[in-house]
Amino acid sequence: MLVADEEEGHCMRLNLGESYWLMLLPALIVLAAITFPPFFYSIYLSVHDVDLTKPYLGRPFVGVNNFITLFQDSRALNSFLNTGILVGSMVAIEFVLGLLIALLIDTYFPKATWLITLIIIPMTFPRVVVGLVWRIMLNPLIGVVNYLLQFLGLGAVDWLADPTMAMVSIIAVDVWQWTAFIVLLLLAGFQTLPKEPFDAAKVDGASGMDVFRYITIPLLQPVIVVALVFRVIDALRTFDIVYIMTRGGPGTSTETVDIFAYYIGISEAGRISYAAAVSLVMLFVTIVLITIFLRFSEQWQEEMY
Protein backbone atom coordinates (compact mmCIF):
# COMPACT_ATOMS: atom_id res chain seq x y z
CA MET A 1 0.00 0.00 0.00
CA LEU A 2 1.21 3.45 -0.81
CA VAL A 3 -0.45 5.11 2.15
CA ALA A 4 1.19 3.57 5.18
CA ASP A 5 -0.93 2.72 8.15
CA GLU A 6 0.88 3.56 11.39
CA GLU A 7 -0.39 0.63 13.39
CA GLU A 8 0.03 -1.93 10.69
CA GLY A 9 3.66 -0.96 10.16
CA HIS A 10 4.32 -1.23 13.85
CA CYS A 11 2.91 -4.75 13.98
CA MET A 12 5.10 -5.91 11.10
CA ARG A 13 8.24 -4.68 12.77
CA LEU A 14 7.30 -6.42 15.99
CA ASN A 15 6.68 -9.75 14.35
CA LEU A 16 9.50 -9.88 11.90
CA GLY A 17 12.26 -8.08 13.76
CA GLU A 18 15.63 -8.30 12.02
CA SER A 19 14.40 -10.55 9.24
CA TYR A 20 12.33 -7.64 7.87
CA TRP A 21 15.26 -6.30 5.92
CA LEU A 22 16.64 -9.73 5.19
CA MET A 23 13.45 -10.72 3.46
CA LEU A 24 13.42 -7.54 1.40
CA LEU A 25 17.07 -7.91 0.42
CA PRO A 26 16.76 -10.23 -2.61
CA ALA A 27 14.12 -8.01 -4.18
CA LEU A 28 16.17 -4.90 -3.44
CA ILE A 29 19.29 -6.39 -4.98
CA VAL A 30 17.48 -7.38 -8.14
CA LEU A 31 15.79 -4.00 -8.33
CA ALA A 32 19.08 -2.18 -7.82
CA ALA A 33 20.87 -4.34 -10.38
CA ILE A 34 18.33 -3.66 -13.10
CA THR A 35 17.65 0.00 -12.37
CA PHE A 36 20.91 1.57 -11.19
CA PRO A 37 23.35 0.74 -14.02
CA PRO A 38 21.08 2.10 -16.77
CA PHE A 39 20.21 5.09 -14.59
CA PHE A 40 23.82 6.04 -13.95
CA TYR A 41 24.76 5.33 -17.54
CA SER A 42 22.04 7.69 -18.74
CA ILE A 43 23.42 10.36 -16.43
CA TYR A 44 26.85 9.74 -17.98
CA LEU A 45 25.34 9.98 -21.46
CA SER A 46 23.41 13.14 -20.68
CA VAL A 47 26.55 15.14 -19.79
CA HIS A 48 28.49 13.93 -22.84
CA ASP A 49 27.79 14.32 -26.53
CA VAL A 50 27.44 10.78 -27.89
CA ASP A 51 26.06 10.32 -31.38
CA LEU A 52 25.40 6.66 -32.12
CA THR A 53 25.76 6.86 -35.87
CA LYS A 54 28.79 9.16 -35.80
CA PRO A 55 31.39 7.31 -33.74
CA TYR A 56 34.12 9.33 -35.47
CA LEU A 57 33.00 12.45 -33.59
CA GLY A 58 34.09 10.98 -30.25
CA ARG A 59 32.35 11.44 -26.92
CA PRO A 60 33.20 14.94 -25.70
CA PHE A 61 32.09 16.07 -22.22
CA VAL A 62 29.55 18.86 -22.57
CA GLY A 63 28.29 19.43 -19.03
CA VAL A 64 24.71 20.63 -18.91
CA ASN A 65 24.61 21.62 -22.58
CA ASN A 66 22.08 18.95 -23.46
CA PHE A 67 19.74 20.25 -20.78
CA ILE A 68 20.15 23.82 -22.00
CA THR A 69 19.41 22.68 -25.56
CA LEU A 70 16.25 21.02 -24.28
CA PHE A 71 14.85 24.23 -22.83
CA GLN A 72 15.58 26.09 -26.07
CA ASP A 73 14.23 23.39 -28.38
CA SER A 74 10.64 24.17 -29.31
CA ARG A 75 10.09 20.59 -30.44
CA ALA A 76 11.20 19.21 -27.07
CA LEU A 77 9.07 21.65 -25.11
CA ASN A 78 6.15 20.86 -27.39
CA SER A 79 6.55 17.18 -26.54
CA PHE A 80 6.36 17.92 -22.81
CA LEU A 81 3.24 20.00 -23.40
CA ASN A 82 1.67 17.20 -25.46
CA THR A 83 2.44 14.64 -22.77
CA GLY A 84 0.83 16.96 -20.21
CA ILE A 85 -2.31 17.37 -22.29
CA LEU A 86 -2.53 13.66 -23.05
CA VAL A 87 -1.95 12.45 -19.49
CA GLY A 88 -4.18 15.12 -17.95
CA SER A 89 -7.16 14.51 -20.19
CA MET A 90 -6.77 10.74 -20.36
CA VAL A 91 -6.58 10.22 -16.61
CA ALA A 92 -9.27 12.80 -15.81
CA ILE A 93 -11.78 11.37 -18.28
CA GLU A 94 -10.97 7.79 -17.36
CA PHE A 95 -11.38 8.55 -13.67
CA VAL A 96 -14.74 10.30 -13.97
CA LEU A 97 -16.10 7.71 -16.38
CA GLY A 98 -14.64 4.86 -14.34
CA LEU A 99 -16.15 6.17 -11.11
CA LEU A 100 -19.57 6.53 -12.73
CA ILE A 101 -19.48 3.06 -14.25
CA ALA A 102 -18.23 1.51 -11.00
CA LEU A 103 -21.00 3.25 -9.05
CA LEU A 104 -23.62 2.09 -11.55
CA ILE A 105 -22.42 -1.49 -11.42
CA ASP A 106 -22.10 -1.50 -7.64
CA THR A 107 -25.56 0.00 -7.16
CA TYR A 108 -27.60 -1.80 -9.78
CA PHE A 109 -25.72 -4.93 -10.85
CA PRO A 110 -23.51 -5.93 -7.92
CA LYS A 111 -23.78 -9.61 -8.84
CA ALA A 112 -23.19 -9.28 -12.58
CA THR A 113 -19.68 -10.61 -13.03
CA TRP A 114 -20.29 -11.08 -16.76
CA LEU A 115 -20.61 -7.31 -17.01
CA ILE A 116 -17.16 -6.85 -15.53
CA THR A 117 -15.75 -9.41 -17.94
CA LEU A 118 -17.32 -7.50 -20.78
CA ILE A 119 -15.90 -4.20 -19.60
CA ILE A 120 -12.32 -5.41 -19.25
CA ILE A 121 -12.13 -6.93 -22.74
CA PRO A 122 -10.45 -3.85 -24.27
CA MET A 123 -7.80 -3.96 -21.55
CA THR A 124 -6.75 -7.44 -22.60
CA PHE A 125 -5.72 -6.39 -26.12
CA PRO A 126 -2.07 -5.56 -26.75
CA ARG A 127 -1.75 -1.81 -27.30
CA VAL A 128 -0.12 -2.23 -30.68
CA VAL A 129 -3.14 -4.19 -31.87
CA VAL A 130 -5.48 -1.57 -30.43
CA GLY A 131 -3.55 1.15 -32.25
CA LEU A 132 -3.61 -0.70 -35.56
CA VAL A 133 -7.29 -1.60 -35.37
CA TRP A 134 -8.33 1.93 -34.48
CA ARG A 135 -6.09 3.38 -37.14
CA ILE A 136 -7.93 1.35 -39.74
CA MET A 137 -11.35 2.10 -38.24
CA LEU A 138 -10.57 5.81 -38.18
CA ASN A 139 -9.26 5.86 -41.75
CA PRO A 140 -11.42 8.48 -43.46
CA LEU A 141 -11.54 6.63 -46.77
CA ILE A 142 -12.05 2.99 -45.82
CA GLY A 143 -12.70 3.14 -42.05
CA VAL A 144 -15.95 2.14 -40.39
CA VAL A 145 -16.21 5.21 -38.13
CA ASN A 146 -16.65 7.70 -40.94
CA TYR A 147 -18.87 5.24 -42.77
CA LEU A 148 -21.23 5.22 -39.78
CA LEU A 149 -21.06 9.01 -39.46
CA GLN A 150 -21.99 9.43 -43.09
CA PHE A 151 -24.69 6.80 -42.74
CA LEU A 152 -26.18 8.95 -39.97
CA GLY A 153 -26.00 11.95 -42.23
CA LEU A 154 -23.06 13.56 -40.45
CA GLY A 155 -19.96 14.81 -42.22
CA ALA A 156 -16.72 12.89 -42.55
CA VAL A 157 -14.01 13.72 -40.04
CA ASP A 158 -10.29 13.72 -40.75
CA TRP A 159 -9.49 11.84 -37.55
CA LEU A 160 -5.74 11.40 -37.59
CA ALA A 161 -4.50 14.04 -40.03
CA ASP A 162 -5.96 17.06 -38.24
CA PRO A 163 -3.80 18.28 -35.34
CA THR A 164 -6.65 18.67 -32.84
CA MET A 165 -8.63 15.63 -33.92
CA ALA A 166 -5.51 13.46 -33.82
CA MET A 167 -5.03 14.34 -30.15
CA VAL A 168 -8.74 13.76 -29.45
CA SER A 169 -8.61 10.39 -31.23
CA ILE A 170 -5.64 9.20 -29.18
CA ILE A 171 -7.27 10.28 -25.93
CA ALA A 172 -10.51 8.57 -26.95
CA VAL A 173 -8.77 5.30 -27.77
CA ASP A 174 -6.86 5.31 -24.49
CA VAL A 175 -10.08 6.06 -22.60
CA TRP A 176 -11.78 3.22 -24.48
CA GLN A 177 -9.05 0.82 -23.41
CA TRP A 178 -8.14 1.90 -19.88
CA THR A 179 -11.31 3.17 -18.22
CA ALA A 180 -11.95 -0.43 -17.23
CA PHE A 181 -8.80 -0.36 -15.09
CA ILE A 182 -10.29 2.37 -12.88
CA VAL A 183 -13.64 0.54 -12.83
CA LEU A 184 -11.99 -2.67 -11.65
CA LEU A 185 -9.99 -1.03 -8.87
CA LEU A 186 -12.91 1.05 -7.62
CA LEU A 187 -15.28 -1.92 -7.69
CA ALA A 188 -12.83 -3.90 -5.62
CA GLY A 189 -12.68 -0.88 -3.31
CA PHE A 190 -16.47 -0.68 -2.98
CA GLN A 191 -16.59 -4.29 -1.92
CA THR A 192 -14.20 -3.73 0.98
CA LEU A 193 -16.20 -0.81 2.39
CA PRO A 194 -17.73 -1.47 5.84
CA LYS A 195 -21.53 -1.46 5.92
CA GLU A 196 -22.02 0.31 9.26
CA PRO A 197 -21.35 3.94 8.22
CA PHE A 198 -23.84 3.58 5.38
CA ASP A 199 -26.52 2.16 7.68
CA ALA A 200 -25.87 4.92 10.19
CA ALA A 201 -26.14 7.55 7.48
CA LYS A 202 -29.40 6.06 6.30
CA VAL A 203 -30.78 6.22 9.85
CA ASP A 204 -29.68 9.84 10.10
CA GLY A 205 -31.53 10.54 6.85
CA ALA A 206 -28.54 11.54 4.69
CA SER A 207 -29.25 12.00 0.99
CA GLY A 208 -27.61 9.78 -1.64
CA MET A 209 -25.35 12.63 -2.69
CA ASP A 210 -24.27 13.27 0.91
CA VAL A 211 -23.50 9.59 1.45
CA PHE A 212 -21.39 9.60 -1.66
CA ARG A 213 -19.58 12.83 -0.79
CA TYR A 214 -18.98 12.29 2.93
CA ILE A 215 -18.75 8.50 3.27
CA THR A 216 -18.04 6.69 0.01
CA ILE A 217 -15.32 9.01 -1.29
CA PRO A 218 -13.37 9.35 2.00
CA LEU A 219 -13.49 5.62 2.65
CA LEU A 220 -12.49 4.92 -0.92
CA GLN A 221 -9.69 7.48 -0.89
CA PRO A 222 -6.75 5.04 -0.61
CA VAL A 223 -8.05 3.06 -3.57
CA ILE A 224 -8.59 6.22 -5.58
CA VAL A 225 -5.03 7.31 -4.91
CA VAL A 226 -3.64 3.97 -6.04
CA ALA A 227 -5.78 3.96 -9.17
CA LEU A 228 -4.75 7.49 -10.10
CA VAL A 229 -1.05 6.97 -9.41
CA PHE A 230 -1.04 3.82 -11.50
CA ARG A 231 -2.87 5.45 -14.37
CA VAL A 232 -0.71 8.59 -14.31
CA ILE A 233 2.54 6.62 -14.34
CA ASP A 234 1.23 4.40 -17.09
CA ALA A 235 -0.12 7.30 -19.13
CA LEU A 236 3.19 9.17 -18.87
CA ARG A 237 4.76 6.30 -20.76
CA THR A 238 2.19 6.34 -23.57
CA PHE A 239 4.08 5.24 -26.63
CA ASP A 240 2.58 2.35 -28.59
CA ILE A 241 -0.83 3.82 -29.36
CA VAL A 242 0.57 7.18 -30.42
CA TYR A 243 3.37 5.63 -32.44
CA ILE A 244 1.04 3.31 -34.33
CA MET A 245 -1.80 5.77 -34.83
CA THR A 246 -0.01 8.99 -35.74
CA ARG A 247 3.77 8.59 -35.28
CA GLY A 248 3.52 11.81 -33.30
CA GLY A 249 1.98 13.63 -36.24
CA PRO A 250 0.61 15.38 -38.06
CA GLY A 251 3.82 17.34 -37.80
CA THR A 252 4.67 17.13 -34.12
CA SER A 253 1.17 17.76 -32.81
CA THR A 254 0.87 14.46 -30.93
CA GLU A 255 4.56 13.86 -30.25
CA THR A 256 4.97 12.84 -26.60
CA VAL A 257 8.21 12.95 -24.63
CA ASP A 258 8.81 9.23 -25.05
CA ILE A 259 8.25 9.37 -28.79
CA PHE A 260 10.45 12.43 -29.12
CA ALA A 261 13.26 10.79 -27.15
CA TYR A 262 12.94 7.65 -29.24
CA TYR A 263 13.05 9.56 -32.52
CA ILE A 264 15.95 11.76 -31.60
CA GLY A 265 17.93 9.03 -29.84
CA ILE A 266 17.67 6.01 -32.07
CA SER A 267 15.11 6.29 -34.84
CA GLU A 268 15.61 9.44 -36.92
CA ALA A 269 18.95 10.47 -35.43
CA GLY A 270 21.54 8.95 -33.13
CA ARG A 271 21.62 11.76 -30.55
CA ILE A 272 21.48 9.35 -27.65
CA SER A 273 22.93 11.90 -25.20
CA TYR A 274 20.21 14.40 -25.90
CA ALA A 275 17.60 11.65 -25.62
CA ALA A 276 19.06 10.63 -22.24
CA ALA A 277 18.82 14.23 -21.04
CA VAL A 278 15.19 14.42 -22.18
CA SER A 279 14.38 11.15 -20.41
CA LEU A 280 16.05 12.29 -17.19
CA VAL A 281 14.04 15.50 -17.16
CA MET A 282 10.93 13.42 -17.73
CA LEU A 283 11.89 11.12 -14.85
CA PHE A 284 12.42 14.14 -12.61
CA VAL A 285 9.03 15.58 -13.58
CA THR A 286 7.34 12.24 -12.89
CA ILE A 287 8.92 11.87 -9.45
CA VAL A 288 8.03 15.44 -8.49
CA LEU A 289 4.46 15.01 -9.71
CA ILE A 290 3.89 11.74 -7.87
CA THR A 291 5.47 13.06 -4.65
CA ILE A 292 3.31 16.18 -4.68
CA PHE A 293 0.27 14.08 -5.40
CA LEU A 294 0.93 11.67 -2.53
CA ARG A 295 1.60 14.52 -0.09
CA PHE A 296 -1.58 16.18 -1.18
CA SER A 297 -3.63 13.04 -0.74
CA GLU A 298 -2.15 12.39 2.72
CA GLN A 299 -3.17 15.87 3.75
CA TRP A 300 -6.55 15.33 2.25
CA GLN A 301 -6.99 12.17 4.24
CA GLU A 302 -6.01 13.89 7.48
CA GLU A 303 -8.56 16.61 6.84
CA MET A 304 -11.27 14.05 6.17
CA TYR A 305 -11.02 12.30 9.47
Partner 1 sequence: MKITKRLLVVLMVLFLGVSSFVLAQERPYEGIRLAVALRSLPETDFIVSKLGEFELMTGISVNVVTYPEEQLREREVIDATTGAGAYDVIAIDSVFIPEFAKAGWITPLEPYLKPEYEVEDISKFARDLLSYEGTLYGGPVYSEATQLMYQKSLFEDAGLAPPQTMEEYEEYAKKFTQPPDLYGVAMRGLRGNGMNIYIWSEWLWSYGGRYFDENWNPVFNSPEGVLATEKYAYLLQNYGPPGVATYGWDDVQNAFTTGKVAMIIDATNFYTRIEDPTKSQVAGNVGYAVVPEGPAGRFPGNYCMGFAISAVGAKTDEEKKAAAEFIQWATSREMELDKSLQADIISVTRDSVFNDPEFRAKFGGDWLESTMESFRITNPNYRPLIEEWREIGDRLGIEVENVIAGIKPAKEALDEAAAYAAEVLKKTGKIK
Q: What is the 3-state secondary structure (H, E, C) of the chain?
A: CCCCCHHHHHHHHHHHCCHHHHHHHHHHHHHHHHHHHHHHHHHHHHCECCCCCCHHHCCCECCCHHHHHHHHCHHHHHHHHHHHHHHHHHHHHHHHHHHHHHHHHHHHCCCCHHHHHHHHHHHHCCHHHHHHHHHHHCCCCCCHHHHHHHHCCCCCCCCCCCHHHHHHHHHHHHHHHHHHHHHHHHHHHHHHCCCHHHHHHHHCCCCHHHHHHHHHHHHHHHHHHHHHHHHHHHHHCCCHHHHHHCCCCCCCCCCCHHHHHHHHHHHCCCCHHHHHHHHHHHHHHHHHHHHHHHHHHHHHHHHHC
Least distance to partner 1, CB of residue 213, Å: 44
Least distance to partner 1, CB of residue 159, Å: 7
What mask of x and - would describe binding to partner 1 in positions 213 to 252, judged by CB under 8 A?
A: ---------------------------------xxxxxxx
Judged by CB, which is closer to partner 1: 106, or 162? Answer: 162
Per rule CB under 8 A, is residue 134 in the interface with partner 1? no
In Å, the largest CA–CA distance within the chain is 79
In our burial notation (b when 16+ CB lie closer than 10 A, e otherwise), range 58-95 reads eeeebeebbbebbeeeeebebbbebbeebbebbbebbb
Per rule CB under 8 A, is residue 14 in the interface with partner 1? no
Per rule CB under 8 A, is residue 58 in the interface with partner 1? no
Least distance to partner 1, CB of residue 123, Å: 25
Judged by CB, which is closer to partner 1: 110, or 251? Answer: 251
Per rule CB under 8 A, is residue 159 in the interface with partner 1? yes
Least distance to partner 1, CB of residue 140, Å: 4
Q: Which stretch binds partner 1 (CB under 8 A): 22-30, 80-88, 109-117, 150-158?
A: 150-158
Least distance to partner 1, CB of residue 289, Å: 28
Judged by CB, which is closer to partner 1: 98, or 131? Answer: 131
Q: How far are the Cα atoms of 45, 48, 114, 168 from residue 61, in angstroms, in the given order?
A: 9, 4, 59, 42
What mask of x and - would describe binding to partner 1 in positions 255 to 294, judged by CB under 8 A?
A: --------x--xxxxx------------------------
Judged by CB, which is closer to partner 1: 83, or 252? Answer: 252
- Residues binding partner 1: number (CB under 8 A): 35
Per rule CB under 8 A, is residue 84 in the interface with partner 1? no
Least distance to partner 1, CB of residue 149, Å: 11
Q: Which stretch binds partner 1 (CB under 8 A): 17-25, 54-62, 79-87, 280-288?
A: 54-62
Q: Which stretch binds partner 1 (CB under 8 A): 15-23, 85-93, 133-141, 218-226?
A: 133-141
Binding residues (CB under 8 A) for partner 1: these are 51-57, 139-142, 146, 150, 156, 158-163, 166, 246-253, 263, 266-270
